[in-house]
A and B are shown apart, each in its own frame.
Chain A
C-alpha cells in the first residue's frame, strides 16, 4: 500500500512534514506535489487497487487516527473518498498540471509512465521548424502576464544568427496571489525541463537557465534535483535522448527584487548586474542574455509546450475563448474559502471562479473586490465579476490577467490603504531607471496620505500622476502600478472621501 503526503511548500506550511514523518513509521510514504486544493492540505492519499483515496486536512495531531483508518480501512471524519472524483478535481481541465500531485516529482520513470517525454520525442522527430509551427498554431501566449504569442517569439530566436542562444525561464514569480510556478516546479519539475528542452531544440539553443526567486527555496531544491535526474536519464546533455541535439540547463537564484520578474531586468540580474530594466528595442529575442538571442518565457508557458507537442496544436487551440487559447491555471488566494489552483479553459466568469469554485470569502463576509493579476493588477469590484477570464476580456475593463492570480477581499478591505500599498510597493521595488516610476511612486504615497488626511484636492493630483506613470514608465512596474490605484479610486470613491470620519474597523 502506498501513502502519499505532499511536499509542496503550502502543504509543508500546514504541517505536512510532521504528518509524513508520523505516517512513515508505519507505511511507505511518497512525497508528491499538491493537487492544488490548498484548503484540504495536508491532503493524505492512499492508493488501493489503483484508486487514490484522500484524507484532509490532516493536521499533525490527526496523523495517528488517520494511520489507524488507513490500516484497518475504517471510516474517518477526514475521509474524502476518491480524490479524482472530488468536484474541484472533476471540474478542471488539467493539461499542464496533469501530473502535479499525482507522481513523485523526481521520478523519471513515473513521469514517463504518466505521459512525460512524449512531447519531447515528437519534437525530436518533427524537427525545429515544425515545433515552432505547432506552438504558434496552438495559440499559446505568455502566461507570465504579457500574453505575447510564444510561437512568434520562438520564430524570431530561431531565425537569429548567433554563436550561442539561450532559453531563459522566468520563475521570478513575485506576484502576491500567484503560486502556479512554484506549485509546478515543486510538483512536476520534469515537465518544465522537457518544455525548455523542446524550446532549445526549436530555436537552436544549447543552454538554458531557470531564474527562480530566492523566496522559493523548495522549488529551487526540487528543480536542481530534477535537473540532475534528467541528466542521468539522458534528457539533458550532449545528445538529448540520443537525438544529436545538445541541450543542458541550470538553476539561478534571484536575490529579492520584484522588478527582476520583468524580462530585461531578469536578464541583467542573470548576467550579474543590478536588475535594471533595459529599454526595448533591442528585444531579448535578438539581444538577450549576454547580448545573444534568447527565449525568455514564463514557467507555465514552457511547461504547457510538452502537452501541445504530444496532443497537437489543434487540441490545445480548441479550448478557450477569443484570442485566449488553451487552459489557464487560475490561482484563488487571499480571503477565499476554497483557495488553491484550478486549471481550466479560458472563459469562465470571475463570478463562477470566485463564488462557485472558491466558495466566496473565508471570513464568510460579502466579497468586496478581487485583485486579478498580482500587485499591478486592477481591483475588480464584485459588480463586474461577470467578466470572462481572458486576456482581452479583462483588458476591456481596465483589468489585467497577469499571472492569473486572484486575491479576494471581503467588505472590510480599505481600498485607500490598498492603493497606498500599491504605490509604496512600487517605490520600494522600482529599479530607479525611469523617473515616472522612481519619483512618481513616492509622490503617489504622499498624495494618498494627503487624501487619507481628508485633503480631497489630492484626488485630482493622484489621477494625473497615475496617468503620467502609466504612459511614461519604461516597464510594467511603474506602468501598471496605476491600475490597482485607479481601480480602487474609481470603483470605491467612498473609501477615498470623508477620511476625517472614523473608519469602520476590520474587526467589526
Chain B
C-alpha cells in the first residue's frame, strides 16, 4: 500500500480534521440519541474513531469523555485504529458452521497468511469474523464491502479478494 492511502492513515489532528468533525456533529446534534449516528459517520470518514474525536464529541453533547469512550469501546463496529483498505468478513455463526464455515475459515486464514482481526502486511486486507449476515439459507457466507458471498468456498473467496484488488 502507499503511505497516502486514506484508509490506513491516522488523520492529522489539525484544523481540517476539526472542521469536518464539527460538520458531522452538527449534522446530528439535534436528533434524539445523536451519538451512534455521529460515530458511524466518523468511522465512515476516517475508517475508525480517532481518539482525538472523543473529547470534542463529549463537549458538544454535554457528556463526559469517559461516557463517550465507554460507548465507542462497547460496540464491535467501532475501531480505535484503522483497518486495511478492504475488510473481508467471514460468518462464524451456527448456520454457517453447519455448512463447514470453520474449515473454510482455516483455509482462508492459511491462504491469506493472517489470523482474525489481522491485516495483511501490505495493508490491503483485514480479516474479521461476523456473527450472521442473514444469509443462513446459503451458508457459509462472507462479505467484503458491498459484495456478498453465499455458499462460499475458498475459490470464491479468493476470487472476491482478487476482484477487489485486495
CB pair B131 A174 closer than 8 Å: yes
B 50-75 to A, binary, CB cutoff 8 A, 1 in contact else 0: 00000000000100000100110011
- How close is B76's CB to chain A, nearest CB, in angstroms? 4
A 149-192 to B, binary, CB cutoff 8 A, 1 in contact else 0: 00000000000000000000000011111110111000000000
Q: Which of A176, A274, A275, A276 contacts B132 (CB 8 A)?
A: A176
Which residues of chain A in 270-325 are interfacial with respect to chain B, using CB atoms and an 8 Å cutoff?
A: 270-276, 289-290
- How close is B71's CB to chain A, nearest CB, in angstroms? 6
Answer yes or no: B34 CB below 8 A from chain A CBs: yes
Q: Which of B93, B98, B130 contacts A410 (CB 8 A)?
A: B98
A38-B137, A39-B137, A272-B36 known; A407+B95 contact, CB < 8 A: yes
A-B contact count (CB 8 A): 157
Distance of A257 Cα from B32 Cα, bound (Å): 20
Interface size classification for chain B: 35 or more
Q: Which of B34, B40, B98, B150 contacts A10 (CB 8 A)?
A: B150
Which residues of chain B in 89-147 are interfacial with respect to chain A, using CB atoms and an 8 Å cutoff?
A: 93-100, 103, 130-139, 141, 146
CB pair B138 A41 closer than 8 Å: yes
Distance of A39 Cα from B139 Cα, bound (Å): 11
Distance of A413 Cα from B102 Cα, bound (Å): 12
Distance of A421 Cα from B129 Cα, bound (Å): 14
CB pair A10 B146 closer than 8 Å: no
CB pair A217 B146 closer than 8 Å: yes
- How close is A423's CB to chain B, nearest CB, in angstroms? 13
CB pair A14 B150 closer than 8 Å: yes
Which residues of chain A in 21-38 are interfacial with respect to chain B, using CB atoms and an 8 Å cutoff?
A: 38
A272-B34, A407-B94 known; A178+B40 contact, CB < 8 A: no
- How close is B40's CB to chain A, nearest CB, in angstroms? 6
A333-B139, A407-B136 known; A290+B32 contact, CB < 8 A: yes
CB pair B136 A176 closer than 8 Å: yes
Answer yes or no: B5 CB below 8 A from chain A CBs: no
Distance of A293 Cα from B34 Cα, bound (Å): 20
Distance of A439 Cα from B155 Cα, bound (Å): 40
Binds B, one of A89-97, A248-256, A387-395: A248-256
Number of interface residues, chain A, beta carbon within 8 A: 65
- Chain A residues whose C-beta falls within 8 Å of the C-beta of B35 in the assembled complex: 272-273
Distance of A334 Cα from B94 Cα, bound (Å): 8
CB pair A335 B98 closer than 8 Å: yes
A253-B40, A334-B98, A362-B99 known; A272+B71 contact, CB < 8 A: yes
CB pair A255 B130 closer than 8 Å: no
CB pair A252 B131 closer than 8 Å: no
- How close is B82's CB to chain A, nearest CB, in angstroms? 17
- How close is A268's CB to chain B, nearest CB, in angstroms? 9
- How close is A70's CB to chain B, nearest CB, in angstroms? 24
Answer yes or no: B77 CB below 8 A from chain A CBs: yes
Answer yes or no: A336 CB below 8 A from chain B CBs: yes
A176-B96, A407-B95, A418-B97 known; A9+B151 contact, CB < 8 A: no
- Chain B residues whose C-beta falls within 8 Å of the C-beta of A331 in the assembled complex: 136-137
- Chain A residues whose C-beta falls within 8 Å of the C-beta of B97 in the assembled complex: 334, 418, 421
User: Which 6 A-B pairs have CB atoms at the shortest separation, nearest pair first?
Assistant: A272-B35, A339-B137, A176-B93, A13-B150, A333-B136, A256-B76
Complex A-B: 29 CB contacts under 8 Å: A9-B133, A9-B134, A10-B134, A10-B138, A13-B133, A14-B151, A38-B137, A38-B150, A39-B137, A177-B95, A178-B132, A179-B134, A253-B37, A255-B76, A256-B77, A270-B36, A272-B71, A273-B35, A273-B67, A274-B74, A276-B74, A331-B136, A333-B139, A334-B95, A334-B97, A335-B139, A339-B138, A362-B99, A431-B74
Q: B-contacting residues of A (Cβ < 8 Å)?
A: 9-10, 12-14, 38-39, 41, 173-179, 181-183, 207, 214-217, 252-258, 269-276, 289-290, 331-336, 339-341, 362, 371, 375, 405, 407-410, 413, 418, 421, 425, 429, 431, 506-507
Q: A-contacting residues of B (Cβ < 8 Å)?
A: 32-37, 39-40, 61, 67, 70-71, 74-78, 93-100, 103, 130-139, 141, 146, 148-151
